[in-house]
Amino acid sequence: MKILVLGSDGLVGKNLQDLVNSDTENEWIFATRLDGDLTVLKKVENLFEKVKPTHVINLAAYVGGLYKNMSRGVEFFEKNILININVMKASLSVKKLISLMSTCIFPDKIDYPITEEKLHLGPPHPSNEGYAYSKRMIDVLSRAYNKEYGTKYITVIPGNLYGPYDNFNLEDAHVIPSLIHKMKNAKLSGEPLIIFGSGNALRQFTHASDLAKYLVWTLNNYEDTEPLIVSSEDEYSIFDLVQILKQEFEYDGEISWDNTRSDGQIKKTISCEKLKKIHPDPHFRDLRDGLKETIIWFLNSENNYRK
């Protein structure tokens, strides 16, 4: 196989590179935005013509944390729609295209746990409406291509991702990298750690290396064209997450919760029953172990992490 990975300089792409760097049976091409602007169809077509991939994994997305999503919905919708439309257009000749969606695509008001078939049963949470609808359309468009052109466009839905190579920007990072960065700064400065929200929101966290492992498995084994949830099912409140981080950082400073800031969607519990039925032994890294590794990587990568 000649596998083109798009968006390979992000969290999942870097973990995927670490995973397959010893693969001698397949040819992996890891493309970044420097190889072509995926929002421009001609540049995407030029990249595909140059590489001539047999398989594609599309990790590219315009992403950000909760508050960036709340304030820039149009930008999130437009950029992600363009990326995914252009990649699908260019992938007509490949044997398999795997695209990532997100748990935020699921309906806000829904019976739990959430399974793949509940994807379109209602609108997503309004806090990230632009991004959520743009990612939900990956499923709609993939099904349309598969029906009309006989393609094999597959969609994977990961849980809340974290790990080495994440975006640790204090303004628009997701919750785990943001909290890690904030706690480090608070410990060094001695100033109180202020955390947005009440701490009551519940999340299921998946280490990016685990997702990378299941993407390779999907590439080789998953032939269904219906979406597949890939996530740890262990659920933690943001308050619980902060307690684990406190212990790992040995942080004993003051913590205050800013209840004027949104929690986002309070709960979005997903089920991996489908994965369990088709995979011999699904396993996901324990959150504490994954956080320990991520913190060590962050502290040793001050000049290399995204911020």
The C-alpha atoms of residue 29 and residue 36 are separated, in whole angstroms, by 13
Cis peptide before 177 (omega within 30 of 0): no
Could you tell me the sign of the dihedral formed by the alpha carbons of 181, 297, 216, 8, in that order? positive
Structure tokens at 194: 């202020």
Q: Residue 1 contacts by C-beta under 8 Å, 6 or more apart in sequence? A: 26, 27, 54, 55, 95, 219
Q: What is the DSSP string of 159-173?
A: -EEE-TT-B--TTT-
Reduced to 3 states (helix: H, G, I; strand: E, B; else coil), residue 229 is strand
Burial class (CB in 10 A: 0-12, 13-18, 19+), 283: exposed
131, 222, 236, 305: the catalytic one is 131
The angle subtended at Cα 63 by Cα 138 and Cα 23, nearest 5°, is 75
> Is the separation of the CB atoms in 207 and 285 below 8 Å?
yes
Structure tokens at 47: 């990249």
Q: Outline where 127-250 has alpha helix (H).
A: 129-149, 175-189, 208-221, 238-249
Nearest to 215 by CA among 94, 99, 71: 99
The C-alpha atoms of residue 58 and residue 5 are separated, in whole angstroms, by 6
The C-alpha atoms of residue 68 and residue 167 are separated, in whole angstroms, by 13
Verify whether residue 214 is a known catalytic residue: no
Structure tokens at 296: 């060590």
Catalytic residues: 131
